[in-house]
Amino acid sequence: MANTQILLKSRPTGWVTPDNFERTDADIPAPAEGQILLKTLYLSVDPYMRGRMNDVKSYVPPFQIGAPLQGGIVAKVEASNNGKFAEGTYVSGMGDWADYMVTDGSGFTPVDPDLAPLSYNLGILGMPGMTAYVGLKGVGELKDGENVFVSAASGAVGQVVGQIAKNMNCHVAGSAGSDDKVAFLKDELGFDEAINYKTTPNLFKAVREANPNGVDVYFENVGGPILEATINVLNFNARVALCGFITDYNATLEEMAPGPRNLVVLVGRSVKMQGFIVFNYPDLCKEWVGIGAQWLKEGKLKYRESVAEGLGNAPQAFIDMLKGKNFGKQIVHVSDA
Amino acid sequence: MANTQILLKSRPTGWVTPDNFERTDADIPAPAEGQILLKTLYLSVDPYMRGRMNDVKSYVPPFQIGAPLQGGIVAKVEASNNGKFAEGTYVSGMGDWADYMVTDGSGFTPVDPDLAPLSYNLGILGMPGMTAYVGLKGVGELKDGENVFVSAASGAVGQVVGQIAKNMNCHVAGSAGSDDKVAFLKDELGFDEAINYKTTPNLFKAVREANPNGVDVYFENVGGPILEATINVLNFNARVALCGFITDYNATLEEMAPGPRNLVVLVGRSVKMQGFIVFNYPDLCKEWVGIGAQWLKEGKLKYRESVAEGLGNAPQAFIDMLKGKNFGKQIVHVSDA
């Protein structure tokens, strides 16, 4: 049996293409003393990974040319020379885009297969869910009954943002890029309002009407025109949690959309706009796993995934996700347990 | 004797012009029971007043057409029917652009003529000084030895920002709009670096070179291109205190400069950008008056004013200040004590 790996072949300029990836087959590695062998079950493709493809300073080091890409994985402990991890148990953490990998286990945590489907640990109970919770509570300082707006609302993070806010009795509105997604937000997830930013003739008007009481917390995944439109309807002392700017991830500085012309609004309305990195809030991350699992059990959370089949399709799943073609949290099913 | 007043005649669209003001002579009012008669000694012209000339929702109500403009004043209590204010003492607060006014005294606080020159209560010890302190400490969470950059650095707020930061052993750089101002910042106020944003051939390069260790706290008075250039050199966990966007105060939305294209940087570097209103930080304001007075006495603060002579020149002083023609804090001397 071979260990298939997906390597970074070249750094993209602009949009990521299949040429930026390379598939190789290696031998299955053997775990040394203190190491474990992991068999990948699911891997996660997430927007932040686009940044790691560039050779620039950021909060995580860039991917290396010729090395496997890395991201969130759920894996089974196939063999163990490390007393902390028993064979046959499940873990999640940052791992290689590969069928197998060895590690000393640092950064990996056990996951309970009875708590929720294993893949949920890459989404609603994993980094995207934690990001939603940290952005709303830690950065957004959300209080019960406030008014929340979220962009990319049907995505991995956005759908959790909206449901947390609904469970806190907030007015919740979101934007998404297709009528199907808009219907999902309103009919399935209970959003009060949702807009299709691609087809609305007047984004300013649509954002205003979707947020009749203004916006206390804006959870930003997108950037560009929707940010400008939302700034106009921010309330006094509003908070903007800057989670992502997916519109700009594939652009050079020259190609990047002009920023919002109305940042002056932030002064008069005492607005806080804050970028954040989920792993700087470990206590809230842990808190979310408990709350999220409980809410799932009680039926207070729904969750939609988009599953690509096979490691070889990971590059295309990643490319499609960056273009917004996924519907729900995009993951890749690599193998069965 | 007449009581000259400067009224708002019309709301400006774009730049303020002398036609927006009207001068009238009324009788000197008599204070009723509980009221005091104030004789204006100095009045303050400040950027935020431009916002009050528009008929829009903000943190202070708009000026009314046909009523006197209002702003910070220092005044002498000329007559008193209010036991809290003794005749012959001095007060500061928000007052009319007029030789005289009556008030019940709410919002006015006594000032000590021995602490500092009376006009300083409109500047370094008044709202602009408090704004500098609140922006650095309350919003910017400035720590000793960090790296600070401030735009409009020779203005009423900027010159105090730089000196507070220098007194906290920070690396301090600033931008200003003339070589005279740049020389003042470096030679008089002890800034480590200063740039003339109007003449530098490459603003990005100039900002980078003026901040060799990056920027931990950016104090923003200006907006536009300097904000974009500064975002590029923000450090991880940097804070941007949004005090003003003077470039945009006289523009319609269509005329406003495009915002920074690089807001995405705020995400990866966990930057906080926050607008603020000084009066929401009353404890820090009070704290500053004590610290500022002490530092003035010890020679640890310098202060430059630009004084226009006579109430009739207040409109032109205001217009010139909005265009950056003033050098130091712009005030108007109305009468002697």
Residue in A243, A263, A275 nearest the CB of B269: A275
> What domains are there in chain A, each with its CATH number?
3-123+303-333 (3.90.180.10), 129-280 (3.40.50.720)
Going by C-alpha positions, the residue among B139, B163, B138, B137 that lies closest to residue B150 is B163
Confidence of residue A59 (pLDDT cuts 50, 70, 90): low
Mean pLDDT, range A248-268, rounded to an integer: 80
Q: How far apart are CA B294 and CA A269, in angstroms?
A: 33
pLDDT at A123: 94
What tokens were used for B11? 């709301």
3-state secondary structure of B91: strand
Do the Cβ atoms of B227 and B158 come closer than 8 Å? Answer: no
Please tell me the predicted confidence (pLDDT) of residue A257. Answer: 73
**Alpha helix ranges (H) inside A40-117:** 48-52
| Residue B160: predicted pLDDT | 97
CB B21 within 8 A of CB B315: yes
Interatomic CA distance for residues A315 and A22, integer angstroms: 9
- Return left, alpha or beta for A242; rule: phi > 0 is left, psi -120 to 50 is alpha, else beta: beta
- 3-class SS at A329? strand
Q: Mutate one of B240, B263, B272 to test the A interface: name it (highest A CB count within 10 A).
A: B263
At A334 the three-state DSSP class reads coil
Which residues of B fall within a CB distance of 8 Å from A47? none
Q: Supply the pLDDT for residue B59.
A: 67
CA B235 – CA B216 distance, rounded (Å): 6
Q: Which residue of A has its CA nearest to B259?
A: A259
Distance CA B304, CA B330 (A): 9
For position A320, what pLDDT does the model report?
95
Contact partners, residue B171, CB within 8 Å, separation at least 6: B146, B147, B148, B192, B211, B212, B213
With 90 as the cut, is the pLDDT of residue B252 above it?
no
What local confidence, expressed as pLDDT, does residue A328 receive?
87
Structure tokens at A131: 């990001």
Q: Do A263 and B223 touch (CB under 8 A)?
A: yes
Task: Give Cβ neighbours of residue A163 (< 8 Å, ≥ 6 apart).
Answer: A189, A190, A295, A300, A301, A302
The pLDDT tens digits of the residues spanning B71-87 come to 999 999 999 999 999 99
| DSSP label at residue A332 | E
Angle of helix B282-297 relative to helix B158-167, nearest 10 degrees, comes to: 70
Cβ <8 Å between B276 and A270: yes
What are the tens digits of pLDDT across the range B107-134? 999 999 988 999 999 999 999 999 999 9
Contact B277 A257 (CB under 8 A): no
Q: Where are the beta strands (DSSP E) in chain B?
A: 2-8, 21-27, 36-44, 70-80, 90-96, 100-103, 109-111, 147-150, 171-176, 193-196, 215-220, 234-242, 272-275, 305-309, 329-333
Q: Residues of chain A with pLDDT > 70: what percent?
A: 97
Q: How many helices (H) and strands (E) does chain B have?
A: 9, 15
Tokens 């009045």 sit at which residue?
B43
ipTM score assigned to the predicted complex: 0.86
Burial class (CB in 10 A: 0-12, 13-18, 19+), A298: exposed
Nearest to B245 among A257, A263, A274 (CB): A263
Q: In chain B, which residues have their Cβ closer than 8 Å to the Cβ of A224?
A: none
CB-CB under 8 Å, B256 with A262 = yes
In contact, B83 and B297? CB cutoff 8 Å: no
Interatomic CA distance for residues B263 and A15, integer angstroms? 19
DSSP label of B278:
G
Q: Which residue in the set A245, A260, A280 is minimally distant from B264, CB to CB?
A: A245
Write down the pLDDT at residue A40: 98
| pLDDT over 90 percentage in chain B | 85
What distance separates the 2 farthest-apart alpha carbons in chain B? Answer: 64
Summary mean pLDDT of chain A: 94
- Chain B contact probe: residue of A52, A139, A264 with most B CBs at under 10 A: A264
Taking contacts as CB-CB distances below 8 angstroms, the residues of chain B near A280 are: 270
Provide the pLDDT for residue B256. 74
Neighbours of A59 (CB within 10 A): 16
Closest-CA residue of A relative to B52 is: A268
Q: What is the mean pLDDT of residues B209-237?
A: 96
Asked whether the predicted pLDDT for residue B296 surpasses 90, the reply is: yes
Whether pLDDT at A307 is above 90: yes
B273 and A277 within 8 Å at the Cβ level: the answer is no
Q: Do B272 and A272 touch (CB under 8 A)?
A: yes
Residue B245 is predicted with a pLDDT of 82
- Under the banding of pLDDT at 50, 70 and 90, the label for residue A253 is low
Mean pLDDT, residues A212-224 taken together? 96
pLDDT greater than 90 at residue A48: no
Of A219, A164, A218, A228, residue with least CA distance to A191 = A164
| pLDDT the model gives residue A42 | 98
Higher pLDDT, B249 or B273: B273
- Hey, are the CB atoms on B264 and A227 less than 8 Å from each other? no
Model confidence, pTM: 0.88
CA of B271: which chain A residue's CA is closest?
A: A275
Within 10 angstroms of residue A51's Cβ, the number of other Cβ atoms is: 18
Q: How many CB atoms lie within 10 A of CB A238?
A: 26
Q: What's the rounded mean pLDDT across residues A170-192?
A: 97
Residue of B258 and B102 predicted with greater confidence? B102
The number of beta carbons lying within 10 Å of the beta carbon of residue A253 is 12
Question: Closest by alpha carbon to B226, among B165, B161, B156, B176?
Answer: B176
Q: pLDDT at position A51, please? A: 87
Residue B185 has pLDDT above 70, yes or no: yes
Judging contacts by C-beta atoms under 8 Å, the chain B residues touching residue A268 are 51, 58-59, 275, 277
Q: How confident is the model at residue A208 (pLDDT cuts 50, 70, 90)?
A: very high
Q: Residue range B181-189: average pLDDT?
A: 96
* Residue with the two structure tokens 């309305």: A269
- Which residues of chain A are within 8 Å of residue B131 when distances are taken between CB atoms? none
The span from the CA of B147 to the CA of B150, in Å, is 10
- The whole-number average pLDDT for the span A18-47 is 96
Whether the predicted pLDDT of A36 surpasses 80: yes
Helices (H) and strands (E) in chain A, counts: 9, 15
pLDDT tier at A324, thresholds 50, 70, 90: confident
CA atoms within 13 A on the CB side of B215: 33
Q: What percent of chain A has pLDDT over 90?
A: 86
Locate A107 and state its tokens: 């950064």
Q: Which of B197, B161, B184, B174 is nearest to B278 (CA)?
A: B161
